[in-house]
Amino acid sequence: MKNIHKTVTALMQQGKGILAADESNKTANKRFDAVGVEQTEENRRKYRELLFTAPGVEQYLSGVILYDETLRQGTEDGMPFPEYLASKGVLAGIKVDQGLEDVSPDKGPEGGQVTRGLEGLEDRLKEYKTLGASFAKWRAVARVGDGYADPAIIENAKRLAEYACVCQSLDIVPIVEPEVLIDGVHSAEDTEGSLIESLAIVADALVKKGVKLSHVIFKTSMAVSGKDAENRAGAQEVAERTVRALKTALPDDVGGVVFLSGGQTPEEATGNFNAIARLEPFPWEVAFSFSRALQEPVLELWAGHDEKKELAQAEFLKRLTLAVAADAGGYSPGMESI
């Protein structure tokens, strides 16, 4: 249990966050396509190398979540990525779920989705551990309005608990991510309600399964308005609703709470995180664990051009600097232009 405790403490250390770079090949390809980058294994490697080798990245990152392919890749001069990250004091994690499945094929995603990946999980985790992973991630999704009685919510909570249990038996820290999706016209108040329901049911399932909460990190959405809502809530309201939801749903002894950006713009996610941090202290440490809010402008700048690598890395470092400033409650929108 000693190592797992150290991993939680390292991941949740103050002033750093976790980069989510665990986009599946399908998702990475979709993002490449949007900026005209050819969808090849080598381009995915190059892009991740750009991120991980940005100079000084270790000042801002405690960990990076990788995808299966990336965990097995390395830098141009042949150092495996987990080893490279370890040399900088950054922990490597691995996404182990295998994506979403519609509960009822005739209704599509609206009919609820469950996350696949329990089959063979223990063997995969054992291998990932030998490849250098010390923590893992499993993402489930819920739509605003899905509640305690929804069969997909219940099934997802059960699977998250099973996954967390297997991780802990191997000394791997599980990040449990019941994401409440931003899609829709709902209010921030509605998201707050959905956050409470989906987080509480997962916490309950973990306890019932005997998972040690202090060795679990929750990855959560913020209580934002739906992407297409007419009047979207401002940072103060989002922060108050988010913190209230977390305090209501989560036991005090969870190992930490990290935030996904979930389709917010980089400025919005950073501003909301900043407003959340200003409401500290909380019973648990909080940190950012963004993918898109750190990467979107970086990928756009790079767009597959080697000569843009340094410019893109500078943009990545800027986003990290701002996220870390937000973690201390010291971000302001004016800092975007520096």
Catalytic positions: 177, 219
Nearest-approach distance from CB 162 to ligand 13P, in angstroms = 19
Residue 323 contacts residue 18 (beta carbons within 8 Å):
no
Q: Which is nearer to ligand 13P, 141 or 249 (CB)?
A: 141
272 part of the interface to ligand 13P, by CB under 6 A = no
Q: How far is the CB of 259 from ligand 13P (least distance, A)?
A: 8
| Cβ closest to ligand 13P, residue 90 vs residue 149 | 90
**Interface mask toward ligand 13P for 278-317; x: CB under 6 A:** ------------xxxx------------------------
262 makes contact with ligand 13P (CB under 6 A) = yes
Nearest CB to ligand 13P, comparing residues 8 and 181: 181
CB of 273 to ligand 13P, least distance (A): 11
For the window 121-160, what string marks contact with ligand 13P as x by the rule CB under 6 A?
------------------x---------------------
Closest CB to ligand 13P among 164 and 208?
Answer: 164
Q: Which residue stretch of 7-15, 96-104, 254-262, 322-330 sits at the interface with ligand 13P (rule: CB under 6 A)?
A: 254-262
Q: With contact defined as beta carbons under 8 Å apart, do 172 and 217 qualify?
A: no
Q: Which is nearer to ligand 13P, 177 or 315 (CB)?
A: 177
Site membership for ligand 13P, residue 82 (CB under 6 A):
no
The whole-angstrom separation of Cα 176 and Cα 255 is: 11
Q: Which listed range, 37-45, 160-168, 239-247, 260-268, lies at the site for ligand 13P (CB under 6 A)? A: 260-268
Determine the size of the site formed for ligand 13P (CB under 6 A).
10
Residue 60 lies near ligand 13P (rule: CB under 6 A): no
Check: CB of residue 129 under 8 Å from CB of residue 48: no
CB of 209 to ligand 13P, least distance (A): 22
**CB-nearer residue toward ligand 13P: 227 or 334:** 227
Q: Measured from the CB of residue 307, what is the shortest distance to ligand 13P in angstroms?
A: 27
What are the angstrom distances between the C-alpha of 190 and each of 59, 88, 144, 194, 321? 37, 41, 7, 6, 31
Is-contact 135 174, C-beta < 8 A? yes
Q: How far is the CB of 28 from ligand 13P (least distance, A)?
A: 12
- Does 202 bind ligand 13P (CB under 6 A)? Our answer is no
Binding site for ligand 13P (CB under 6 A): 20, 139, 177, 260-262, 290-293
